[in-house]
């Protein structure tokens, strides 16, 4: 089954859920955001690692006809990109960047 959605539709859907993102893990190597699910499958978790590879636990991402890991985007990944782009990074005394999400601190170099 092909789950292709045109980019304009994906961005519209992503913009509707971006404010629902909850940061569950932040580190130098990885950021994980959780999005509530409208179905019975539980929350969808988006992960991006230090190499810029993205993953989502939603069915569209997991079962699509994608060429390889990190080479496909679902509405949750696009919403995570929008969420992360809104964040403010502050430089701390040692020159590293400090990011705080929902009470969690992550040191991003």
Answer whether 0.75 is exceeded by the pTM.
no
Q: Are 29 and 50 in contact (CB under 8 A)?
A: yes
The domain spans of the chain are 7-100
Lowest mean pLDDT of 32-36, 37-41, 46-50, 54-58, name the range.
Answer: 37-41
- Residue 64 has, within 13 A of its CA and on its CB side, a CA count of 19
**pLDDT at residue 103 is higher than 50:** no
Residue 24 is predicted with a pLDDT of 92
pLDDT at 93 over 70: no
Q: Which of 15, 18, 54 is nearest to 36 (CA)?
A: 18
Give the Cα separation of 10 and 87 in Å (integer). 21
CB 21 within 8 A of CB 35: yes
Question: pLDDT tens-digit profile of 53-74?
Answer: 999 999 888 877 655 554 578 8
Q: Which residue did the predictor score with more confidence, 60 or 19?
A: 19
Contacts (Cβ under 8 Å, ≥6 apart) of 26: 32, 99, 101, 104, 105, 106
Task: Identify the pLDDT of residue 90.
Answer: 59
């Amino acid at each position: 089954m092909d789950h292709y959605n045109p980019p304009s539709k994906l961005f519209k859907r992503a913009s509707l859920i971006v404010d629902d993102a909850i940061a569950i893990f932040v580190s130098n190597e990885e950021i994980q955001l959780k999005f509530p699910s409208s179905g019975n499958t539980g929350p969808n978790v988006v992960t991006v690692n230090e190499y810029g590879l993205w993953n989502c636990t939603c069915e569209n991402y997991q079962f699509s006809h994608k060429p390889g890991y990190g080479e496909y985007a679902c509405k949750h990944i696009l919403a995570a990109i929008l969420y992360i782009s809104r964040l403010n990074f502050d430089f701390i005394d040692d020159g590293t960047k400090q990011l705080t999400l929902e009470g969690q601190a992550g040191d991003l170099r």
